[in-house]
Structure 1
């Protein structure tokens, strides 16, 4: 159990793909959280397109809002049933849902008609019990699970379990097969987003890249904090080099040095040579380098600009992480470090003007704006970011 263990965090990630030819997704999720409580509601509306989108949006919003205000579950469900607009064609107001509430190391799981949530512990499926009760003839399953470090909870809509019907999977992607797929993955080393992307990508493959239903996966992972410390540019005053670097290298976590002049200062401070890693770059991004005692050494502004581009693409579509994994250039390596591994990022921004950039469009303000953009992207991904100027 991890209650009150500040070295652990709840990481979340999701991937959602629309049914072919639909511009709106009939699945919807919402996350409600405060300092010690997180509520996730995943809903799947009847049918697809606009109607399904309205049903699932209303369901997830109403349920999450009421539950976050500690309203009784039965009252929340009855309110949803009353509020949903009736489908004129089918005379139904129907939306499935899964609710996951995490408080003080305990998961409270409420499930109605979505595929059963999968819980992995130590890479294997964890069997969990549930109580059944009925609300307005709806069969509701309730479970309570004490969570442990590295536990993974996978929520999904039936677009995943129905993937491939009539195509590469005669009976769809059945629940036991999804479990077996997850158990084969090295999920301990994967972020929540990466796990979600892997599941949806397999659904797409089984459906020959054309889903017959919206497919959404939301993953929750209990994981250790991982700190990444980045030094971008040397300190403004050269006499502060040793003081700043002593502080930088005293911090726990992985170290990243960005920029050639910064790497030279670090090499001198550590009394270790800097060696270029030949052919590690490509036509867009210069080669990486290595310095003993440093985890990653990259070029500065060009590499960082590409890193921000990759993270922005990932923010739009979390399946993009699978594309980044295929690349081994310095920007992709650094982007994956920040997306997959980092939970806390400390950026030390050196205020020194780079004489090599004089007369170019890469000035101090450009570099500062890029760091601010990186900070904003990481914050939106749920990372804890602190920028210090030196």
Structure 2
């Protein structure tokens, strides 16, 4: 059975003047896929944040432990009763359980309908209406295939611009038209979310009148990215390095002058240095036929780690990450790690570089090893599947 890599991203805008977002998204990995819950709490600020967080935490915890949707909604209903003044649910939600084979079970309650695109075109979903604890929900069972996309938004998106640039807000149909143009242009879920939220922010004139959240899920085939850094510990193992480069699947990145020279000599491929895209903080890149990116070693990897660390911190704080812009080696490698690799294999040569450490020190003091380990943890936090091989 065909399996996919599930590319999921979510970002939010807080209502203007509020420090906390009244929407909350929870994503948890299961044995065979993901569960995603997006909840929108009534109102805004602290109260809405607590309500949305409770709803999403209850739902994702119960569903992961095998509870039925009836049990889950019953628990949410009894925990968060209706507002007696406005006769509205304290929290709305969309629940998505997606497996690696593309099988999807979805429940929607009072959030805007999801946006679904199959084969780059708008797709239709058959939704079954059910009533559980006096709440009308819509259930959907369907399959997603390669490059199919599903986007969930809170009502802050469809209200964007109300009373300002647009009399009636952006409206579902307009967002649908916008996404239809994006689905074939943007490769990652993250970029889809970013573009959509940036438009919402502009329509609100940088002062969102409601909490606004976007969640996007795309199914992709596995994308492999191989990074080779440092020569092997034993000179006779250079052939292992060369064979790994020849036979690995996916994109190939060489990090380190010594590594590049070994490969250049063995494959008889010359190296040219790029002095145009120069950044004082990062040594110049190089080019070699058959290699997707060639950079210096430790300084470039450390700068890459710093760029991705800031990027991850913005995501953890549910801020809209700034685009990673630039043409130096570290910036290019950072973009490749985010956009071009779902499965990342790092091949680490253990030869000691006297410039990086005292040869008398144990290997755990090796600066390159330390940077690689920190980079691996960041990549895993970004949802990447990472493998390390020591040479």
Same fold (TM over 0.5): yes
Q: Distance in 2 between matches of 1:293 and 1:126?
A: 39
The more displaced of 86-95 and 146-155 is 86-95
Give the alignment of 1:5-84 within 5 angstroms.
Answer: 5-6=2-3, 8-84=4-80
SS at the partner of 1:386? strand
Q: Distance in 2 between matches of 1:230 and 1:198?
A: 30
Equivalent residue number for residue 141 of structure 2: 144
Equivalent residue number for residue 387 of structure 2: 386
Unaligned runs of 5+ residues in structure 2 are 359-363
The more displaced of 290-299 and 16-25 is 16-25
Equivalent residue number for residue 112 of structure 1: 109
Equivalent residue number for residue 377 of structure 1: 378
Structure 1 residues 357 and 68: alpha-carbon distance in aligned structure 2, compared to 1, 3 A threshold? closer
Q: CA deviation at 1:321?
A: 5.3
SS at the partner of 1:229? strand
Paired residues of 2:252 and 2:291 also in contact (CA < 8 A):
yes
The answer on 1:121 being equivalent to 2:112 is no
The answer on 1:156 being equivalent to 2:153 is yes
The more displaced of 149-158 and 80-89 is 80-89
Deviations 1:255-306 (A, max 9, x none): 0000122211111111011001221232222221101111110111221112
Q: CA deviation at 1:5?
A: 1.4
Equivalent residue number for residue 180 of structure 1: 177
Q: CA deviation at 1:130?
A: 0.8
SS at the partner of 1:375? helix
Equivalent residue number for residue 344 of structure 1: 343
SS at the partner of 1:110? strand
Q: Distance in 1 between matches of 2:384 and 2:313?
A: 16
SS at the partner of 1:323? coil
Q: Distance in 1 between matches of 2:166 and 2:125?
A: 28
Paired residues of 2:6 and 2:217 also in contact (CA < 8 A):
yes
SS at the partner of 1:114? coil
Q: CA deviation at 1:126?
A: 0.7
Q: Distance in 1 between matches of 2:240 and 2:73?
A: 59
Q: Distance in 2 between matches of 1:130 and 1:247?
A: 49
Deviations 1:135-164 (A, max 9, x none): 233221111112111111111111111112
Equivalent residue number for residue 288 of structure 2: 291
Equivalent residue number for residue 249 of structure 1: 246
Match of 2:210 among 213, 218, 223: 213
Q: Distance in 1 between matches of 2:89 and 2:8?
A: 30
Structure 1 residues 349 and 320: alpha-carbon distance in aligned structure 2, compared to 1, 3 A threshold? farther
Equivalent residue number for residue 328 of structure 1: 327
Paired residues of 1:43 and 1:56 also in contact (CA < 8 A):
yes
Q: CA deviation at 1:166?
A: 2.3
Paired residues of 2:356 and 2:367 also in contact (CA < 8 A):
no
Query: Over aligned residue pairs, what C-alpha RMSD do you find?
Result: 2.1
Equivalent residue number for residue 94 of structure 1: 90
Deviations 1:329-362 (A, max 9, x none): 2212111110111011111111122245578xxx
Equivalent residue number for residue 229 of structure 2: 232
Deviations 1:240-269 (A, max 9, x none): 212222123211111000012221111111
Paired residues of 2:154 and 2:214 also in contact (CA < 8 A):
yes
Deviations 1:60-117 (A, max 9, x none): 1222222333333233212211102676875765101001112343211111111111
Structure 1 residues 67 and 355: alpha-carbon distance in aligned structure 2, compared to 1, 3 A threshold? closer
Match of 1:200 among 190, 197, 200: 197
The more displaced of 366-375 and 79-88 is 79-88
Structure 1 residues 86 and 349: alpha-carbon distance in aligned structure 2, compared to 1, 3 A threshold? same
Equivalent residue number for residue 219 of structure 2: 222
Give the TM-score taking structure 2 as reference length: 0.91
The answer on 1:268 being equivalent to 2:265 is yes
